[in-house]
Amino acid sequence: MAEQSDVLIVGAGVAGALMAWRLAGAGARVTVVEAGPHVDRGAALQRFERSAVRVPEAPYPMAPYAESPATIGDSYIRQDGPDPFRSTYLRQVGGTTWHWLGTALRLLPSDLELQSRYGVGADWPLRYSDLATWYDVAESELGVSGHDDDMFGPPRQTPYPMPGLPAALGDRLMAQSAGRLGFKVRVSPQARNSQPFDGRPACCASSSCIPICPVQAKYDATVHVRKAEAAGARILSESVAVRVDVGPDGRVTGLLIRKPDRSETRLETRHLVIAAHAIEGPKLLLMSRSERFPKGVANSSDAVGRYLMDHPVQLTKALAPVPVWPRRGPQEVSAIHELRDGDHRRHHAAFLMNIGNQGWEWAGPNLAALAKGFVDAGLSGSELLNAVRSHASREMTLVALTEQLPDPVNRITPDFDRRDVIGVPKPRVFFRLDPYTATALAAARKTHEQLFHAIGATDIGHLPHAEGAGHIMGTTRMGTDRGKSVANAEGQSHDHPNLWFAGSSLFPTSGTVNPTLTIAALALRTAEAIKSAIKQ
C-alpha cells in the first residue's frame, strides 16, 4: 500500500512552503511535490552573468519536464486571445519568489469589497479584518522592512519586523514635486532585510533582485522550504503532478506524479493542497477530467481556469534633469498610492505607480544597447564616457500596476494537442484587456507625464503595449456563490472537502499590489483550517 500523508502539497513556492512548514511543525505528515528542480544560488548567479539577455528567467535553466513561459520567444503557452498574456513564472523549488521584486504591500480593505463599494468586479468572501492578523504573521515570516509612520491604508496593529529602507535618489527627486499634484512618494514595505534577520544578511545593494538576490537578503520561498524540511516535511522535487484522484465519497484520495523518466507514482493523502500557481494549478484540475468529472476535478462551477487576471503594466520612461544614479539598490524602492482607491474605480481601474530604480533596463534601451549605440555613432574616449554617464545616470521610469476585473472568458485550459517531453499538456490562455483596464492604462500615461513634467524631465516615452507584471491571479477563485467560484473563504474546495487551494489563484479580484504578501497571509490562514480538519 502506498505511503499516506496527512497533507500533500503541490508546489514548493511561497504558499506551499509556508503551509508545509506550518503543518509539519504542528505534527502533520507533510509531503510537497514540486515539478522543477532545486536551484543552486551560486550556479544561478554565474548563469545570470553569462546571459546575453538578462530576462527574469535568465539564471534558471528550464527543465524540459517542467517547462515554464519565457519572456522572449515563448513556446510554452499557446495564446488564444486578442491580447498576449505576457507574464511568466518559474517551476522550481522556491517558485517564482526566486525572481520577485520583494515589494510586500497589503491589499486595501476596499480591494476586497470592489462590488459592494463601487459596483464592479466581485467581493471577496472575507474582509480585511479577517486577514489583518495573518498579514502580521506573514510579515514576520517573510521579514518585511517598512516605515510604520508612512502607510497608505489602514493603521497597522503591530510594527514592521524591521525598520524601513531609505528612498532612492530618483524617489527623492520625484517627492519634491509630487505634492503639487496631490501625491506623496512613500518608501514601500519590502521583504528585503534592512538589517540581519532570521539568519539572512541585510540588503547589499546588488540591484539584481530580479532575477536573483546574491545573498538572500530578499526573501524567497527556499527559506520556508528549509524550515519545512527541518520540521519533518518531505520535499519531492522533479515530480510533476499529472492527476488528482477522487474517491466515491467525493473526497480526494491521492495524486499521480510523473518523473522526468516518465515513471509514475501514486501518492495517497488525507488532504491535498494545490499551491501550484494560477496556471499550473487549474491545469492540473482540468487535466484530471474523467467520466465522473468530465469538466475536471473541483469544477462543478465551471470556474476552474477562468477569471485569469494580471496587473497590466503601463511603463513610462524619461530622463531626469539631474543625475539620480539608478541601478544601485532595489529595482523599485518607492511608490505613489493615491490612485489605488477612490470613486474613479466605478469607471476605470485603480493603479499603483512604482518609481523605478533600474534605469531603462526594462523600458529599454538597456545599458549595453545604449553604450553600443554611442559606439556605433562614432563616439570614443571621454566623449563616449560622458555620453553613457550622462544618459544612464538620469534614466527614470514610472511603472503603473493596474487592476484588472475578473472576466470569465480570460482563462487557462490544458492544450491536449501540445504536450511537453513527458507527455503533459501545455497551457493555452485566452486573454483580453477590457475598457475598464484600458482606460486606467491611459490615465496612468497621463499621470506619468504630469509627474515627469513636474520634475523637469525630458525624453518622456511610453511603452506602447501593456506589459505583464508576473502577478497571475484568479483561476480557482474563492467566493460564497458555489456556482461562480471554486473555493470558500478558507481556501477549501466547494466540491471536495479535503481539497484546498493556496496562492493567488484564490483571488476574486486583483487590487493593485503584487500578490505575494497576500498569498502568504491566505496560506497561513488556510493552514490553520487544515490543522483543524486534520484533528476532526
Partner 1 sequence: MELLLRSGVTVENLLDLEADTYRGTPFEKSLLDAWYTGVFKPDGSSEIRSFDTTLMWRAAGVDPPPSTCSGGPESWASPPSNI
Q: 504 phi and psi, to 5 degrees?
A: -70, -10
| Shortest CB 227 distance to partner 1, Å | 25
DSSP H or E stretch at residue 15: helix 14-25
| Shortest CB 451 distance to partner 1, Å | 21
Please answer whether residues 429 and 83 qualify as being in contact, where contact means their C-beta atoms are separated by less than 8 angstroms: no
Residue with Cβ nearer partner 1 (4 or 207): 207
Residue with Cβ nearer partner 1 (140 or 207): 207
Residue with Cβ nearer partner 1 (47 or 251): 47
Terminal C-alpha separation, the chain: 24
- SS3 for 279-295 is HHHHHHHHHCCCCCCCC
C-alpha 289/C-alpha 284 separation (Å) is 9
| Shortest CB 171 distance to partner 1, Å | 9
Residue with Cβ nearer partner 1 (48 or 76): 48
Please name the amino acid found at residue 393. S
- How far, rounded to the nearest angstrom, does the alpha carbon of residue 285 sit from its chain's CA centroid? 21
Please answer whether residues 85 and 32 qualify as being in contact, where contact means their C-beta atoms are separated by less than 8 angstroms: no
Grid cell digits, residue 128: 480585511
Report the interhelical angle of 128-142 vs 516-535 (nearest 10°).
100
| Shortest CB 480 distance to partner 1, Å | 44
Grid cell digits, residue 290: 474523467
Please answer whether residues 142 and 523 qualify as being in contact, where contact means their C-beta atoms are separated by less than 8 angstroms: no
Residue with Cβ nearer partner 1 (128 or 219): 219
- Residue 140 burial (10 A CB sphere; 0-12, 13-18, 19+): middle
Check if 344 is active-site.
no
| Shortest CB 196 distance to partner 1, Å | 11
Please answer whether residues 315 and 332 qualify as being in contact, where contact means their C-beta atoms are separated by less than 8 angstroms: no
C-alpha 400/C-alpha 335 separation (Å) is 9
Please answer whether residues 209 and 101 qualify as being in contact, where contact means their C-beta atoms are separated by less than 8 angstroms: yes
3-state secondary structure of 253: strand
Residue with cell 503551509: 19
Residue with Cβ nearer partner 1 (70 or 384): 384
| Shortest CB 162 distance to partner 1, Å | 10
Grid cell digits, residue 105: 504591500
| Shortest CB 70 distance to partner 1, Å | 18
Residue with Cβ nearer partner 1 (85 or 325): 325
The residue ranges that bind partner 1 (CB under 8 A) are 45, 48-52, 165-169, 194-195, 202-208, 212, 214-215, 323, 325, 327-330, 333, 357, 359, 367-368, 370-372, 375-376, 378, 380-385, 388-389, 392-393
- Catalytic residue among 224, 277, 471, 494, which? 471
Maximum C-alpha span of the chain: 77
Please answer whether residues 303 and 296 qualify as being in contact, where contact means their C-beta atoms are separated by less than 8 angstroms: no
Residue with Cβ nearer partner 1 (12 or 370): 370
C-alpha 241/C-alpha 233 separation (Å) is 18
C-alpha 459/C-alpha 453 separation (Å) is 10
| Shortest CB 461 distance to partner 1, Å | 19
The residues annotated with a catalytic role in the active site are 471
